[in-house]
């Protein structure tokens, strides 16, 4: 019998977990499922800026070999320049790693840092890959509270209370998946101060930095300190609508004198996976030449903003459902009032909703939210699909409360 390794025993990534298997079974049986579960823009009719596609086509012939393990020099230089214009004065191509999506770089950044029993502070709710990769690396994922009552802001006292001598890193996801919160500069400075005081590596997952609504402003954490060791993550999957190209970057900044050994570990892991997909690195070059290409979709009349507004309005008009309106990213994270809906198993609820209403969401506990009373809804589908889905969801919840 071939068993999976023991180190996978506590690794969990529910976004693509058991519920997906049931959805696939229903689809194979001929059912049409409304999928509001994954932040993948292309299936909903979004297309990457044409310049990205053209850049891949034009450079295909030159892209047949491996490149430098950290990425094409030109791509790394452009990433560094991009951050210099955003105020990261010391951003350097030497400290940029290009990866097959941010996912690969998250995995590498934790594998290179975490020893068995080390602790990483992660938000709850989180983007669960961070927790999964921490656990896979042998670490303990320690979740800090984000407070729904104050717009899902990280609870600084909770973070401080959870720091131990084993704490090595602090993960900040801004704009946040799944809550859609965008953090103010003052809060980011306080998070940086915590990392400074406790010598933590700061992991700044900023993959939604361009997806902002209602005039929200994003501050790159790396631009707010020159000393704290900061790894900034971003890529093409969201703001450039090209998740299938699997392109991401990670930039290391801050006091590098503290990080020689860690950087050596990162380089070793980069070498071990040889290099990131080379054709897509040309798309990255085109993307960073026009980093705000998604903006028209975010204006009040833009498609993404309209979809967010419609989904939010319909959702919050369902009795017993409340939601902090997202100021960034692609998701709503509503709360189902426990007084109206006595839910003890939110995965069970998502499965039941799938079977009865043929629509797919993700349960809040899949994001390490501690109580089974939240769900994540992706607002990428067009308004007619969202209208249908929110109608079905409302009917389902009304029946559930009876
Ligand atoms: N970080 C966050 C917060 C995400 O939401 C996602 C994908 O949904 C990723 C990282 C992974 O992105 P990539 O497609 O670059 O691997």
Regarding whether 272 and 223 lie in a shared domain, the answer is yes
Residues 47 and 240: their CA atoms lie apart, in Å, by 8
Cα of 338 vs centre of ligand 1, distance in Å, is 30
Q: Choose the final residue of a domain: 288, 318, 333.
A: 288
34 and 382 in contact (C-beta within 8 Å)?
no
- Predicted pLDDT at 17: 75
Residues 36 and 377: their CA atoms lie apart, in Å, by 6
Cα of 206 vs centre of ligand 1, distance in Å, is 9
Q: Choose the final residue of a domain: 238, 268, 288.
A: 288
179 and 326 in contact (C-beta within 8 Å)?
yes
Which tokens in the block code for residue 85?
A: 């214009």
Regarding whether 354 and 241 lie in a shared domain, the answer is no
Residue 12 has pLDDT above 90, yes or no: no
Give me the count of residues in the chain: 402
Which tokens in the block code for residue 150?
A: 């104050």
Whether this model's pTM surpasses 0.95: yes
CATH number of the domain within which 25 lies: 3.90.1150.10
Which residue has 């409302």 as its token pair?
Answer: 394
Helix (H, G, I), strand (E, B) or coil at 249: strand
Residue 265's H or E segment, with its range, is helix 260-272
Regarding whether 342 and 276 lie in a shared domain, the answer is no
Helix (H, G, I), strand (E, B) or coil at 394: helix
- Predicted pLDDT at 18: 80
CA Rg value for the chain: 21
Cα of 155 vs centre of ligand 1, distance in Å, is 23
341 and 374 in contact (C-beta within 8 Å)?
no
Regarding whether 301 and 258 lie in a shared domain, the answer is no
Let me know if residue 363 belongs to a domain: yes
Regarding whether 106 and 194 lie in a shared domain, the answer is yes
What pairing do the DSSP bridges indicate for beta strands 140-147 and 359-360? Answer: unpaired
Helix (H, G, I), strand (E, B) or coil at 391: helix
Cα of 106 vs centre of ligand 1, distance in Å, is 9
Provide the domain count of the chain. 2
Is any ligand 1 atom within 6 A of the Cβ of residue 209? no
Residue 14 has pLDDT above 80, yes or no: no
pLDDT tens, residue by residue, 350-394: 999 999 999 999 999 999 999 999 999 999 999 999 999 999 999
Regarding whether 245 and 106 lie in a shared domain, the answer is yes
Give CA separation, 342 vs 314, 368, 377, in Å.
Answer: 22, 19, 20
Residues 233 and 175: their CA atoms lie apart, in Å, by 12
Which tokens in the block code for residue 363?
A: 């349960």
Is any ligand 1 atom within 6 A of the Cβ of residue 177? yes
Cα of 103 vs centre of ligand 1, distance in Å, is 6
Helix (H, G, I), strand (E, B) or coil at 371: coil
Let me know if residue 364 belongs to a domain: yes
Could you tell me which residue, 13 or 49, shows the higher pLDDT? Answer: 49
Let me know if residue 111 belongs to a domain: yes
Residue 298's H or E segment, with its range, is helix 295-298
The boundaries of the domain holding residue 310 are 6-47+296-401
Regarding whether 15 and 111 lie in a shared domain, the answer is no
Q: What is the arithmetic mean of pLDDT over 167-174?
A: 98
Cα of 240 vs centre of ligand 1, distance in Å, is 12
CATH number of the domain within which 270 lies: 3.40.640.10
- Predicted pLDDT at 10: 86
Residues 209 and 207: their CA atoms lie apart, in Å, by 6
Residue 161 has pLDDT above 90, yes or no: yes
Considering only CA atoms, which residue is closest to atom 7 of ligand 1? 39
Positions of E strands within 292-385 = 321-322, 331-332, 335-336, 359-360, 362-363, 375-378
pLDDT tens, residue by residue, 228-266: 999 999 999 999 999 999 999 999 999 999 899 999 999
Q: What are phi and psi of 328, to 5 degrees?
A: -160, 175
Regarding whether 68 and 169 lie in a shared domain, the answer is yes
Give CA separation, 152 vs 40, 69, 217, 333, in Å.
Answer: 23, 38, 16, 10
Please state the ipTM of this predicted complex.
0.99
Regarding whether 159 and 223 lie in a shared domain, the answer is yes
Is any ligand 1 atom within 6 A of the Cβ of residue 178? no
User: DSSP secondary structure string, 102-170?
Assistant: HHHHHHHHHHTTPPTT-EEEEEES--THHHHHHHHTT-EEEEEEEEGGGTTEE-HHHHHHT--TTEEEE
Q: What are phi and psi of 205, to 5 degrees?
A: -90, 105
Is any ligand 1 atom within 6 A of the Cβ of residue 210? no
Is any ligand 1 atom within 6 A of the Cβ of residue 205? yes
Q: Choose the final residue of a domain: 260, 288, 316.
A: 288
- Predicted pLDDT at 258: 85
Residue 16 has pLDDT above 80, yes or no: no
Q: Is 47 left (phi over 0), alpha (psi -120 to 50) or beta?
A: beta
Which residue has 């969201």 as its token pair?
Answer: 238
- Predicted pLDDT at 402: 81
pLDDT band at 274 (very low <50, low <70, confident <90, very high): very high
- What's the order of all strands across the beta sheet hosting 375-378? 331-332, 375-378, 362-363
pLDDT tens, residue by residue, 298-357: 999 999 999 999 999 999 999 999 999 999 999 999 999 999 998 999 999 999 999 999
Is any ligand 1 atom within 6 A of the Cβ of residue 39? yes
102 and 233 in contact (C-beta within 8 Å)?
yes
Let me know if residue 1 belongs to a domain: no
Regarding whether 237 and 380 lie in a shared domain, the answer is no
Regarding whether 245 and 154 lie in a shared domain, the answer is yes
Regarding whether 31 and 97 lie in a shared domain, the answer is no
- CA 159 to chain centroid, in Å, comes to 20
pLDDT tens, residue by residue, 176-231: 999 999 999 999 999 999 999 999 999 999 999 999 999 999 999 999 999 999 99
């Amino acid at each position: 019998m071939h068993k999976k390794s023991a180190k996978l025993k506590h690794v969990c990534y529910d976004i693509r977990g058991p519920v997906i298997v049931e959805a696939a079974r229903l689809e194979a049986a001929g059912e049409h499922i409304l999928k509001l579960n994954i932040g993948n823009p292309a299936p909903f009719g979004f297309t990457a800026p044409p310049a990205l596609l053209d850049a891949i086509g034009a450079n295909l012939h030159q892209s047949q070999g491996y490149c430098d393990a950290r990425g094409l020099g030109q791509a790394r230089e452009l990433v560094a320049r991009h951050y210099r214009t955003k105020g990261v004065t010391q951003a350097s191509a030497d400290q940029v790693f290009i990866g097959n999506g941010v996912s690969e770089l998250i995995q590498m950044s934790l594998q290179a840092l975490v020893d068995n029993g080390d602790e990483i502070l992660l938000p709850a709710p989180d983007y669960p890959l961070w927790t999964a990769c921490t656990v896979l690396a042998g670490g303990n994922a320690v979740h800090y509270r984000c407070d729904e009552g104050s717009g899902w802001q990280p609870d600084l006292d909770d973070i401080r209370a959870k720091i131990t001598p084993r704490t090595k890193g602090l993960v900040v996801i801004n704009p946040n998946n799944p809550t859609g919160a965008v953090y103010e500069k003052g809060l980011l400075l306080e998070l940086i101060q915590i990392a400074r005081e406790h010598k933590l590596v700061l992991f700044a997952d900023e993959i939604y930095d361009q997806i902002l609504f209602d005039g929200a402003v994003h501050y790159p954490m790396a631009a707010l300190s020159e000393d704290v060791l900061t790894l900034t993550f971003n890529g093409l999957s969201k703001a450039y609508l090209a998740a299938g190209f699997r392109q991401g970057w990670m930039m290391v900044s801050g006091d590098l004198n503290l990080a020689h050994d860690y950087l050596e570990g990162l380089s070793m892991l980069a070498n071990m996976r040889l290099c990131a997909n080379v054709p897509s690195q040309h798309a990255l070059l085109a993307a960073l030449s026009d980093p705000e290409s998604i903006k028209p979709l975010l204006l009040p009349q833009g498609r993404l903003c309209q979809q967010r507004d419609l989904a939010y309005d319909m959702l919050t008009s369902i009795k017993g459902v409340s939601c902090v309106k997202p100021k960034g990213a692609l998701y709503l994270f509503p709360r189902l009032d426990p007084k109206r809906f006595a839910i003890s198993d939110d995965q069970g609820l998502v499965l039941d909703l799938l079977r009865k209403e043929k629509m797919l969401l993700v349960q809040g506990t899949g994001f390490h939210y501690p109580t089974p009373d939240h769900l994540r809804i992706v607002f990428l589908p067009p308004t007619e699909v969202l209208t249908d889905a929110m109608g079905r969801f409302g009917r389902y919840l009304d029946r559930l409360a009876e």
